[in-house]
Structure 1
Amino acid sequence: MLGGLLREREELLATLDRVAALNGTARLIRESIGTHSGFVAELAGPEQAVIRWMSGTRTDALQDLAVPIGQGIGGRVLALGRPVRVNDYVSSPSITHQFDAQVRGEGLAAMIAVPIVSGTETVAIAYAAMRERRDFGDDAVQSLEDIATEAGRALKLASVAEADRETALSAERLRMQSALHDSVGALLFSIGVQVRNLHEDISDNPALESRLRRLEGDVSAASRALRESLLALSESSPERALPVELAEHCRSFQARCGVPARFVQLAPVPRLDAERTGLLVAAVREGLLNVEKHAEALSVVVSLLPSEDGVQVVVADDGTGRRAEEDDEPEPGTGMGLRALAERAARVGGRVSLVRDEDDGCTLRAWVPEPCRRR
């Protein structure tokens, strides 16, 4: 048993994903300390935490519960920066009781909470809880602090790994940009020159002249699409303004397909972290790809707006409704790309949906909550 728990702790430290690290921490709390449940709240602002990851709970009474500084046991940890323990939550005189209903709903009594620190900042709160009254001793508190320390180290490693991934991604973008410019760009230029030369040689052949003009138009369109792709590769990064990213994808789609694609930002949105920005950009790419492959649309509108304490993107098309009949595709929302997006969204508490409209168009929506800001 001890050997297994030690291995799990090492796996937690080896985790280079923030969400996986926090989810694993909740499970490790319960199994290592022997409590009925363990859960973790992540900072959602300088003075508030939100409980997101739980293990051993029976209900969703605590799921996404916002805990302001000073309130309840977690808020007291935020205020004091040190562990807090109670032997019976709902009767304890040392904490406030705004969350008694939720705690009763989950059937909890004794509880410990400690800060999770990454570097010098509190980034989350770790909880351990029992379903009956208990006087938690110093050993239990120390065990929870040890787990919190390891979680803090795991989060720091995840942050470094994310930065490394972004550096590698930027380098790959530059490599692809250079390769496309040197190969495809040069080839298109050469074809364009040859077509123009042929125009001069066959001025007395109207039929061939017409075909060459169409070819010249195709080369010009391909060159524009290549320029759009090079621009996206050179400037695109998770730290760029999200509206710029989405507008570029609309322009690139329109250049490729000839279908008008309009980007609309309905209101200012908060700045998102790399994970959430990447998810929303991927959702728009997937939505535009579906339109390109299946919709036979006459127009597409991509919208960006704040929604439900988060940010939402919407890709709406006026397709003919023939996509399923012609391509033998499953109903909207069941494709591999959409399932992958939905899984990514769930990891950050978001959601993705694709529905067919009454007029045969389709609407893809992707929503993510605002990121937890470091304290």
Structure 2
Amino acid sequence: MVLDGLLRERDDLLAVLDRVVALHGTAQLIRDTVGAHSGFVADLDGPGEAVIRWLCGNRTGNLQNLRVPVGQGVGGRVLALGKPARVSDYISSPTITHQFDAQVRGEGLAAMVAVPILDRQGGKPETVAIAYAALRESGDFGDDAVRDLEGIADRAATALRLAAVAENTKDNAVSAERRRMQSALHDSVGALLFSIGVQVRDLHQSIQDNPMLDLRLRRLESDVSAASSALREALLALSETSPERALPVEIAEHTRSFEARCGVPARFVQLASVPPMDAERTAMLVAVVREGLLNVEKHARAVSVVVSMGPCDDGVQVVVADDGTGEQVEAGEGTGMGVRSLAERAARLGGHVSLVRDDDGGCTLRAWLPLPCR
């Protein structure tokens, strides 16, 4: 018997943790407790309008999804005043407006009472829904009936708060799982694709006298690039971040992944906030960071790497700087195929890319792009 009672309490708790179930149950409770022929609940759809969505005891669909603006009918009066309203005969009542006479007559209702479902958390009570009770003949809902309906409204308000907490907890759990999946994919699949890309590029340099094998490697490199793009889209979806707003997040992720993969301390520094970039510019700047980190991994014996980003000259600049002793390069756009390709892409967008040897022996890859036209 005790176990049965606990199971019933569990089922009741799970029911109120769902907003729809809670409000549908409120409509049933109104009918049973107040002794009305019909009980129904309207949910707020904005600050000035309620929508009747949950009904019990109705014979037609006249009231289903009926929109009730503030001040109109019994429910609109409750919405306007924030207190109960009642009529002994809806159609003939002089105290309400009559925009909904056709629907009420079609449902066959007469006496009606409505009370606000109030959220009392915080300061001033706020109406979050409306509870109605109705009879199919003229009559009076007394003070006891109003108090009973207000008691039901208080229970409904509690149920709505619990449902909101449960929904927020669920959303937080889903977000945490998405972040876990994103991190796992980035660190495993992303690192693997990056490694394959590095090996393919190295092979290109060693088989230049074999056109057939070179062609196959280029196809493989294209496939790896496509897979990387697909992974990037999946990671953006999991992070719930649009491509235009993903730039700092993605650069930070690439920096963190480089450090985990190579064991070289690397940090990302955002010098100041930057305006959102369109998808093409975002992809371009991310590609610069990836190329810079790739060059460090392949050529530099770096002790540390710093990736920075910030606004600069009506545009956005990213810099990948290492303190290694990599291969000598000439000042300018760099001598590597990857850097030259990036410089060409940047030029098409009105920007520029440069790779220079620093005075202390390290290398700095720098890219600047103008902001998109608005």
| Common topology (TM > 0.5) | yes
- Per-residue deviation at 1:41? 1.1
Q: Which runs of 5+ in 2 are unaligned?
A: 246-277, 284-374
> For 1:121-155, what per-residue CA distance to the aligned partner results, in whole angstroms no more than 9, with x for missing partners?
10111111111123222222222111111111111
- The structure showing larger relative contact order (alpha-carbon pairs under 8 Å, at least 6 residues apart) is 1
* Equivalent of 1:192 in 182, 194, 197: 197
- Per-residue deviation at 1:13? 7.8
Q: Which runs of 5+ in 1 are unaligned?
A: 241-246, 253-375
Distance in 1 between the 2:10 and 2:128 partners?
A: 19
Partner residue in 1 for 2:41:
40
Contact 2:70–2:80 under 8 Å retained in 1: yes
Distance in 1 between the 2:118 and 2:102 partners?
A: 29
Residue identity matched to 1:66: R
- Per-residue deviation at 1:222? 0.9
- The 5 A counterparts of 1:1-375 are 11=12, 14-119=15-120, 120-236=125-241
Residue identity matched to 1:100: D
Contact 1:13–1:151 under 8 Å retained in 2: no
- Per-residue deviation at 1:115? 0.4
Distance in 1 between the 2:188 and 2:209 partners?
A: 34
Distance 1:13 1:30, change over 3 A: farther
Distance in 2 between the 1:79 and 1:132 partners?
A: 26
Residue identity matched to 1:47: G
Instruction: Report SS of the residue matched to 1:102.
Output: helix
Distance 1:44 1:213, change over 3 A: same
Contact 2:50–2:67 under 8 Å retained in 1: yes
- Per-residue deviation at 1:235? 4.0
- Per-residue deviation at 1:10? 7.9
Q: Between Structure 1 and Structure 2, whose CA radius of gyration is higher?
A: 2
> For 1:66-111, what per-residue CA distance to the aligned partner results, in whole angstroms no more than 9, with x for missing partners?
2222221111212222222222211223322222111111000111
Distance in 2 between the 1:8 and 1:170 partners?
A: 29
Contact 1:59–1:105 under 8 Å retained in 2: yes
Distance 1:92 1:223, change over 3 A: same
Distance in 1 between the 2:237 and 2:198 partners?
A: 26
Distance 1:9 1:51, change over 3 A: farther
Distance in 1 between the 2:32 and 2:147 partners?
A: 15
How large is the RMSD of aligned CA atoms in angstroms? 2.9
Instruction: Report SS of the residue matched to 2:239.
Output: helix
Partner residue in 2 for 1:282:
none
- Per-residue deviation at 1:203? 3.3
Contact 1:23–1:54 under 8 Å retained in 2: yes
Residue identity matched to 1:20: V
Contact 1:13–1:154 under 8 Å retained in 2: no
Distance in 1 between the 2:71 and 2:211 partners?
A: 83
TM-score (norm 2): 0.57
Contact 1:116–1:151 under 8 Å retained in 2: yes
Distance 1:8 1:135, change over 3 A: farther
TM-score (norm 1): 0.57
Contact 2:15–2:21 under 8 Å retained in 1: no
